[in-house]
Structure 1
């Protein structure tokens, strides 16, 4: 048989399922990036739904996005719960078609309502690798873990028996960030004072009302203390900070596209404590004041506790984050160079900066084994 007539063996096909929220999408994309670095010939496909943030984030990162019908799992009884079996069946059927079309060799799930159909669609025919980002595992990963080949986790005791702790996958731009070396360029990028102590503020993609009101309300005190601010308030929100004349700039933006530069520009951050946020802030060795969401199952507090206990961050209840608190605590902390340095040092020795590569390598190993068991043919 001539070389021209021989079929070209396609690269390994990796499907990542982590749509819905940034907390699921970002680790999935960090692992996708690592797969691309480890095996440039691999085919990478992301699963998502038309309603998720993945429709914006995945194409920007250069990956194929396959959309399936949403199948959310309601937490309370009602019509939505009664419709769940139908929605899930439809989503699983659509996912099976995607897996066949891309000739998937492995499914890597990160939880959420995109992952559950992927786990059922893969079943025991395709290898499944699960990564749990949160300190308290969600329903999707608890279900999928029953037959997954491997289960990995960001932190210990996440609620998945036998999970191997590997840390949270973080994109290389942040895991490898040189804050000191990038600070000048980052502050110029955002129009911040090049020398002033700088506070970064954000509350997730939608913003956070309590954080917005407390920090914007403290703009006068922060400006009087010579502190600059970079504040992402959320696209649907507005703030009106008033700084004294001659104060460093208070830069308010709806959203931060360059989180790496935002972290590099800052000396301290006030933010929520979602698992992805804690992992990125810790990877950047940036001192933090975490303000967990005041509702839910308390997982945001659990996410932050190990970092707080290590001395890299502070933890403040949502109700306690007031104008008075920010006006008092932030200048005191930003003017204490020794304390900030100790917090940054503690952050630098906390976490797993190679988590994305670890998960990617595990996924590729499962995919290669599956391909070999199939005799290289599909």
Structure 2
């Protein structure tokens, strides 16, 4: 069997695909798996680390505002569709799986034109335009949130949850903390804005730094985002050892489960990993996400007592300090929040999607025979 995964641009769309691909490779080592990604996405560096072949197409995200650049990027869609069509016609995969991001649309759409069985995973409660179009054409749609069902028309819809990499569940917190040099009475704060970084989160950490430095038992891993790293490194010279600034955390399963508090955006994949890692969080939803889905995701966690939500527009220095320092100074509260976060994880998400993949492949095999 040959499977093609199309998902990327950001870690939120790539890592669910990697979770599925890793599981499939472990249990079906004789099968072939190929990833399709974009030339400018995180997948160009991450996928090779996992040992999967990667085919690249030139599609890019389209700016919401009308401009010459938006037109240029819009024209990349038909070009990428043609490239994807030729690639799939040559490779003849048994199944194409799309996990979102702008690479997913041309690859999955091309597969439907070639009558190749297809599956897409919709991460958010409010599906984007691409998945609304694809849902009508693919063989199966898997959902993280059941309420997305009312916003999609599809042949078959399954509420599966969102798959996370097995390392999140397998890695032991104590071992990870020892490896990172975190003492028994120390707290680890991890701040990250996804694979692209987030200026608001960087500003939040900037507000907190003087107070954090006064608390030497607080250790910080601060992922600035690759684009912001050099500037921030020059701004914050001579940070104490307790504050570790990095461009990006590429080994998140070895960091997040060791944390006591995460400060981050509220993408669906990030929240699934937070739940799997059993960690309390302060969530700052990206305000320009389609259908404001990050706000919805964050409120779900907050309503269950698993997170505190700060609006992007409400991150004043005073509000940030009052909110986050009150959590840091009350470790018992963080423990309770972490326990509630863990309860929000759909433990069988990966297995459920694997079952659907097997079912689609059986149908394909029966048709061939």
TM-score between the two structures when normalised by the length of structure 2: 0.88
Q: How many angstroms does 1:79 deviate by?
A: 5.1
Give distance in 1, aligned partners of 2:117 and 2:37.
19
Mapping for residues 36-185 of structure 1, pairs under 5 Å? 36-70=25-59, 72=61, 75-77=64-66, 87-123=76-112, 125-158=115-148, 159-161=151-153, 163-185=157-179
2:189 maps to 199
Q: How many angstroms does 1:154 deviate by?
A: 0.9
Q: How many angstroms does 1:255 deviate by?
A: 1.6
2:17 maps to 28
2:295 pairs with one of 289, 293, 301 = 301
1:259 maps to 252
RMSD, aligned CA: 2.5
**Superposed CA offset, 1:234-289 (max 9, x none):** 22221555899xx8712212221221222133101111111211111111110000
SS at match of 1:135: coil
Assess if the C-alpha contact under 8 Å between 2:20 and 2:354 holds in 1: yes
Matched, 1:212 2:191: no
2:312 maps to 318
Give distance in 1, aligned partners of 2:73 and 2:211.
51
Structure 1's 85 and 253: CA in aligned 2 closer, same or farther, altered over 3 A?
Answer: closer
**Superposed CA offset, 1:106-150 (max 9, x none):** 111122321211222112611111100122111221111102111
Give distance in 1, aligned partners of 2:264 and 2:62.
27
Structure 1's 290 and 97: CA in aligned 2 closer, same or farther, altered over 3 A?
Answer: same
Q: How many angstroms does 1:161 deviate by?
A: 4.1
Matched, 1:289 2:282: yes
1:228 pairs with one of 219, 237, 246 = 219
2:355 pairs with one of 361, 364, 373 = 361
Give distance in 2, aligned partners of 1:341 and 1:195.
14
SS at match of 2:346: coil
Give distance in 1, aligned partners of 2:288 and 2:247.
24
Assess if the C-alpha contact under 8 Å between 1:203 and 1:211 holds in 2: yes
Give distance in 1, aligned partners of 2:65 and 2:206.
36
Assess if the C-alpha contact under 8 Å between 1:88 and 1:117 holds in 2: yes
Structure 1's 374 and 79: CA in aligned 2 closer, same or farther, altered over 3 A?
Answer: farther
Aligned residues: 358
**Superposed CA offset, 1:38-64 (max 9, x none):** 322221111112222221111111111
Give distance in 2, aligned partners of 1:220 and 1:71.
39
Structure with bigger helix share is: 2
Larger Rg: 1
1:271 maps to 264
1:250 pairs with one of 215, 224, 243 = 243
Q: Which runs of 5+ in 1 are unaligned?
A: 1-11
Give distance in 2, aligned partners of 1:167 and 1:176.
19
Give distance in 2, aligned partners of 1:328 and 1:248.
24
Give distance in 2, aligned partners of 1:304 and 1:268.
15
1:7 maps to none
